[in-house]
Amino acid sequence: MRILILALTLFSSNVYSQDINDLFNQVQEAVSNAGNSPEAGCPHCVDGETRLKKLPLPIGGRNFNAKCTSFIKSDGTYGKWGKLIVKYLNKTDERKERFFSPALPGMQTTPRSCPNWGNMTNDQKGQFWVWTFASIAQVESSCNKRSVNTGAVPNRNDRPRGLFQLNTLRSARAWRGPNCRFPSGAENVYIAANSIHCSLDIMSEILKGRSGEYRGNGKIFPTNSYWEKLRPNHSSTGGDIGRLIRKFPGCML
């Protein structure tokens, strides 16, 4: 009888010991597979590409012209113009800090241009900016790189042209940013890369707020801006440009 009790005791002890070892091994494996924790102050840092893969791109009517897919497509991939924007944004740490800042005015506060901004990754914020410039180009030119303002303008030799309706004359836009100093002439403004890079410089100055060239509030809209439709006297919510910007799915809570 004593031998049976001893045998059972030893068996139970071995089973318990084996359970502990198994649990320990599982914990060790979980820890080793967890990877490094996010750095302090970067709660949404993630590795790899996390762009939205499916965008309900609203084409037609008062929405995007089909040419705007040169910025961004409905499957979330970038067209040739979108790739230029993302390359610009990620070229320097200064640009990334400015365009991807979690504290951009007007995103989660009035007018709530992008309520989910604080929860978005940098990849998603890059996608937002491509969408934003597609929105500006849609309203300014219907994403037609050869668009020209044929209406009444202060100087007929300096008609707004191209995707973002920029000045034809270099002298009228050179101060707006280094990428705005390309030569005068319609054909130079019609070059998409020139218009896109200059417009990104303009937006960079807008986001600087009071310290920027436009001495604004740091919001996309309403603020002092090159683009009239983003100014306070036009609309408190960015007008048609703001309407399109707010359709970006990643901004929705």
Q: Which two tokens stand for residue 224?
A: 């002092």
pLDDT computed for residue 27 by the predictor: 33
Would you say residue 4 has pLDDT above 50?
no
Neighbours of 161 (CB within 10 A): 23
Q: Give pLDDT tens digits for 170-202.
A: 999 999 999 999 999 999 999 999 999 999 999
Asked if residue 238 belongs to a domain, the reply is yes
Asked if residue 202 belongs to a domain, the reply is yes
Asked if residue 152 belongs to a domain, the reply is yes
Read off the pLDDT of each residue in 88-117 and give the average, rounded to a whole number.
97
Asked if residue 10 belongs to a domain, the reply is no
Q: How confident is the model at residue 52 (pLDDT cuts 50, 70, 90)?
A: confident
Q: What is the DSSP string of the chain?
A: -HHHHHHHHHHHHHHHHHHHHHHHHHHHHHHHHH-PPPPTT-TT--SS----S-----BSTTSB-GGGGGTB-TTS-B-HHHHHHHHHHTS-HHHHHHHS-TT-TTSSSTT-S-TTGGG--HHHHHHHHHHHHHHHHHHHHTT-TT-B--S--S-GGG--BTTTTB-SSHHHHGGG-GGG-SPSSHHHHHSHHHHHHHHHHHHHHHHTGGGSTT---SSSSSSS-SSGGGSTTT-TT-HHHHHHHTT-GGG--
Residue position matching structure tokens 């709530």: 112
Asked if residue 43 belongs to a domain, the reply is no
Taking CA atoms, 146 is separated from 19, 101, 182, 209, in Å, by 73, 33, 17, 31
Would you say residue 39 has pLDDT above 50?
no
Q: How confident is the model at residue 49 (pLDDT cuts 50, 70, 90)?
A: low
Question: Quick one: three-class SS letters along 103-160?
Answer: CCCCCCCCCCCCCCHHHCCHHHHHHHHHHHHHHHHHHHHCCCCCCECCCCCCCHHHCC
**Residue 133 and residue 143: Cα distance in Å, rounded?**
10
pLDDT computed for residue 62 by the predictor: 75
**Residue 242 and residue 231: Cα distance in Å, rounded?**
11
Asked if residue 70 belongs to a domain, the reply is yes
Backbone angles phi, psi at 59, to 5 degrees: -100, 135
pLDDT computed for residue 58 by the predictor: 67
Between 101 and 24, the more confident residue is: 101
Would you say residue 60 has pLDDT above 90?
no
**Residue 108 and residue 247: Cα distance in Å, rounded?**
15
pLDDT computed for residue 57 by the predictor: 72
pTM of this structure: 0.79
Would you say residue 117 has pLDDT above 70?
yes
Read off the pLDDT of each residue in 48-63 and give the average, rounded to a whole number.
70
Read off the pLDDT of each residue in 206-224 and give the average, rounded to a whole number.
96
Q: How many domains does the chain have?
A: 1
Least confident interval from 57-61, 126-130, 203-207: 57-61
Asked if residue 92 belongs to a domain, the reply is yes
Would you say residue 20 has pLDDT above 80?
no
Mean pLDDT taken over the chain:
84
Asked if residue 176 belongs to a domain, the reply is yes
Least confident interval from 28-42, 62-76, 146-160, 221-235: 28-42
Would you say residue 36 has pLDDT above 80?
no
Q: Which domain holds residue 79?
A: 66-251
pLDDT computed for residue 76 by the predictor: 87
